[in-house]
Amino acid sequence: MTAPLLKVDDLHITLEGDGASYNAVENVSFEIGRGDAFGLVGESGCGKSITALAVMGLLRRPLGIGKGRIVLDGEEIQNASAARLRELRGSKIGMIFQEPMTALNPLSPVGRQIAEMFVLHQSASWSEAMDRAEDALRQVRVPSPERRIRDFPHQLSGGMRQRVMIAIALACRPDLLIADEPTTALDVTVQAEIIDLMAELCAAKGTAILMISHDLGLVANMCRRVAVMYAGRIVESQGAEAIFATPRHPYTKGLVDSLPRLGERSKRGRQRLREISGVVPSIAAYPSGCRFNPRCPSVTDICRSAAPDVTALGDGLVRCHHHE
């Protein structure tokens, strides 16, 4: 196996506040190979988005990298200079955000917002960059791109805006695309189109994807491997197929059970989808021991007193005292 494109090793992200310091993300490690697709799943607030931001080098106070390494294409970037990080962003890593309404500058034509990429990273002139922006729009299948480049974001639909975001993120053929909940804010019908578009373009350009979502189904569909995060820790990581078939962690099981599955509907009859009871604890109030213990259906005393270690399991890993 060749060296991975991205290797995150024992990443800790700290949150400074009110004179105290908390670990918002702890002990996170994963790898993504070239052209590979990797999914990071969890409820909101579990730390997946800030993990992505850390990879981008976009953490801002009060958040910061505590320890650990982020290696991109053989280069350690967790301590890279701001200038180096800027070079990497856009050219080597692109990112798509959740809210296409607010992720685009409302006062700037979309064409220009794409063109900026070429000006920034490929020293193109503005007119040249605008031409290429038009091409980029065409690639993401925006109809009549020659007109659309002059449109402002508010003149586009949500799906169109997200296409623009994809065009921006992929403009400079990055090695890695980070997609943070790219379809959450969109209509269900549009979601599939966007996902397909992303997958297709990435495949064409050989771009690896780090997909972040609360939707296990979506991620499993698109990615080869999936990691599940809970309360700042990766609790389970497996191949996409396996995680559905044999979820090892009670939290993953909960996620899987909460998914509507067409095939199994008849088997379960009219039984309602199961939800995981309770809420994700806040960073300042992580419980001791296993952080999932207050919500876990199979909790025992040890869960409350000791944090479980990572157990390697064939192709994956799990962090649970009672993994099966």
Partner 1 sequence: MLLVLVRRLGNVIPTLLAVIALVFLLFSVLPGSFISGMNEDGRSVIDPAVMERMRKEMGLDDPLYERFAKYVGKLATGDLGTSFRTREPVTKLIAVRVWPSLKLVFAAMAFAILVGVTLGFLAALKPGSLIDTVSMVTAISGLSLSQFWFGLMLMYLFALTLNWLPSFGYGDGGLRNLILPAIALGVGPMALLARTTRAAVLDVLNADFVRTARSKGMSERLVVKWHVLRNALVLVVTIVGLQFGSLMGQAVVVEKLFAWPGVGSLMVDSVFQRDMPAVQGCILMIVLFFLLINTLVDLAYVVIDPRIRYG
Q: What is the DSSP letter of 107?
A: T
End-to-end CA distance of the chain: 29
Among 154, 261, 265, 268, binds partner 1 (CB under 8 A): 154
**Rounded distance between C-alpha atoms, residue 248 and residue 317, angstroms:** 9
Site for partner 1 in 25-64 (CB under 8 A): 56, 58
* 157 Cβ neighbours under 8 A, 6+ residues apart: none
**Rounded distance between C-alpha atoms, residue 124 and residue 90, angstroms:** 14
Among 6, 8, 88, 317, binds partner 1 (CB under 8 A): 88
CB of 101 to partner 1, least distance (A): 8
Q: Which window, 11-19, 66-74, 96-104, 209-217, contacts partner 1 (CB under 8 A)?
A: 96-104
Among 155, 277, 282, 300, binds partner 1 (CB under 8 A): 155
Q: Which window, 62-70, 72-80, 104-112, 126-134, contacts partner 1 (CB under 8 A)?
A: 104-112
3-state secondary structure of 188: helix
Binding mask 237-266 for partner 1 (x = CB under 8 A): ------------------------------
91 binds partner 1 (CB under 8 A): yes
229 binds partner 1 (CB under 8 A): no
Q: Which window, 85-93, 139-147, 268-276, 294-302, contacts partner 1 (CB under 8 A)?
A: 85-93
Closest CB to partner 1 among residues 178, 276: 178
Q: Is the peptide bond before 62 cis (omega within 30 degrees of 0)?
A: yes
**Rounded distance between C-alpha atoms, residue 208 and residue 235, angstroms:** 23
Among 116, 134, 175, 236, binds partner 1 (CB under 8 A): 116
117 binds partner 1 (CB under 8 A): yes
Strands 176-180 and 93-96: parallel
95 binds partner 1 (CB under 8 A): yes
β-partners of residue 63 are 15
22 binds partner 1 (CB under 8 A): no
Among 121, 132, 163, 225, binds partner 1 (CB under 8 A): 121
81 binds partner 1 (CB under 8 A): no
CB of 62 to partner 1, least distance (A): 11
Q: How many CB atoms lie within 10 A of CB 101?
A: 14
Helices (H), the chain: 48-56, 82-91, 100-103, 110-122, 126-139, 145-148, 158-170, 188-205, 216-222, 240-245, 250-257, 265-268, 301-305
3-state secondary structure of 170: helix
**Rounded distance between C-alpha atoms, residue 208 and residue 32, angstroms:** 7
168 binds partner 1 (CB under 8 A): yes
Amino acid at 71: V
Contact positions vs partner 1 (CB under 8 A): 56, 58, 85-91, 94-95, 97, 99, 102-108, 116-117, 120-121, 152, 154-155, 165, 168-169
